[in-house]
Amino acid sequence: MKLFLKHENALRAFAKSMLPNWESVDDVLQEASVVMWKKLGQLDDESGFLPWGKVIVRIQSLRHIQKMKSEQLVFSESTLNTIADAASKNDEEDYAFKRKALRKCLQSLSKSQRQLIMAPYYQHGSIKVLANKNKVSVNSLYKKIGRLREKLFSCISSQRREAL
């Protein structure tokens, strides 16, 4: 469980590279975590957890996509494998850098800006509550969140350029 939690963001990003939405990612990660738990004895050492976990997530993603095919259009298996291969090249260091940069960039925002940008992740309907509380439209808050996200993206990109 500790290893899964340590690498969850990397596994989540890997799954998202193959899946169409976050709901599918959540479903696949839940299924993959059960498989990982059952097959933990196959893991030689902790350092190999992430590549091993990605293989399991890839298999679970492909199974999930097979289930979805009857419901909607999805990429072919070969296209998904190409995407997964490219995504698997992203390593934990890259995710760690992005997390660190995001934390630093979030600190550059005011407390109220941080609260606003995090509001959609806290609970369903929190934007509506904030809009009513501040007597502004929900749409205007979402536009403001969009501008804040762009600011964060620029900040993270800037840190990436500085690191290179």
User: What pLDDT is recorded for position 124?
Assistant: 66
Specify whether 103 is located in the same domain as 159.
yes
Of 48, 67, 90, which one is at a domain's C-terminal end? 90
Of 90, 111, 134, which one is at a domain's C-terminal end? 90
Q: Could you tell me if 20 and 64 are in contact, meaning their C-beta atoms sit under 8 angstroms apart?
A: no
Residues 6+ apart with CB under 8 A from 157: none
Of 72, 90, 108, which one is at a domain's C-terminal end? 90
Segments forming the whole domain that contains residue 108: 94-163
Q: Could you tell me if 156 and 105 are in contact, meaning their C-beta atoms sit under 8 angstroms apart?
A: yes
pLDDT tens per residue, range 117-140: 888 777 666 788 888 888 999 888
Specify whether 52 is located in the same domain as 12.
yes
Q: Minimum mean pLDDT among 13-22, 37-46, 89-98, 150-159: which range?
A: 89-98
Specify whether 18 is located in the same domain as 85.
yes
pLDDT at 151 over 60: yes
For 99-148, the DSSP string reads HHHHHHHHHTS-HHHHHHHHHHHHSTTHHHHHHHHHT--HHHHHHHHHHH
Specify whether 58 is located in the same domain as 112.
no
pLDDT tens per residue, range 35-92: 998 888 888 888 888 888 999 999 999 999 888 776 665 667 788 788 777 776 666 6
Whose CA is closest to 12, among 43, 49, 54, 46? 54
Residues 6+ apart with CB under 8 A from 129: none
